[in-house]
Amino acid sequence: MKAALFSLLTFLSLGGIASEAKADFRVCNDTKSLVGVSLGYSVSGEWKTEGWWQLPGETCASILQGELNSRFYYIYAEDADRGGQWRGDIFMCTTNQEFKIDGVEECFERGYQKTGFFEIDTDNRDSWMVRLTEDGQSSSQEQ
């Protein structure tokens, strides 16, 4: 497996987006490759991770629908065609198959992998969008 590591880009804020846009957490795959995405978040103080959303090249998907109820979300993604990852230094549990995992402790002991996610600070907005690019990722507010 190719060990390429994509760099992270600066977070961006957008203004002036139409107010009729629905509230959700969207991920856009701005590459030409198929990308698998996993998400980590907290609900009432309990950590959860979910995956895998398969995003074909040059597409977007809402991976959480409705108003966001957390300030911080965490993403890990893999380029299925060329190898490489979008990752960070916040470790959570994943597995190779579709998953919903409660908790982020003792991943190995529970039969999971320990994977580094990057943090998204939504600043408590109702909607957010992350763009995965050839050079890294960027994040923006959707209103």
pLDDT in tens, 18-44: 334 567 999 999 999 999 999 999 988
Could you tell me what percent of the chain has a pLDDT over 90? Answer: 66
pLDDT in tens, 98-138: 999 999 999 999 999 999 999 999 999 999 999 999 876 55
Vertex 48, ends 113 and 77: CA angle to 5°? Answer: 55
pLDDT mean across residues, the chain: 83
Task: Give the pTM.
Answer: 0.80
Residue 60 buriedness (CB in 10 A; 0-12 / 13-18 / 19+): middle
Q: How far apart are alpha carbons 94 and 103 in whole angstroms?
A: 11
Query: Which CA distances in Å does 43 have to 48, 73, 74, 81, 141?
Result: 7, 11, 13, 33, 21
Across 38-51, average pLDDT = 94
Amino acid 19: pLDDT: 39
Quick one: tokens of 63?
């991976």
Amino acid 134: pLDDT: 85
Are 93 and 104 in contact, with CB atoms under 8 Å apart?
Answer: yes
Confidence of residue 73 (pLDDT cuts 50, 70, 90): very high
Confidence of residue 14 (pLDDT cuts 50, 70, 90): very low
Greater confidence, 6 or 28? 28
User: Domains (ranges, CATH) in the chain?
Assistant: 24-142 (2.60.40)
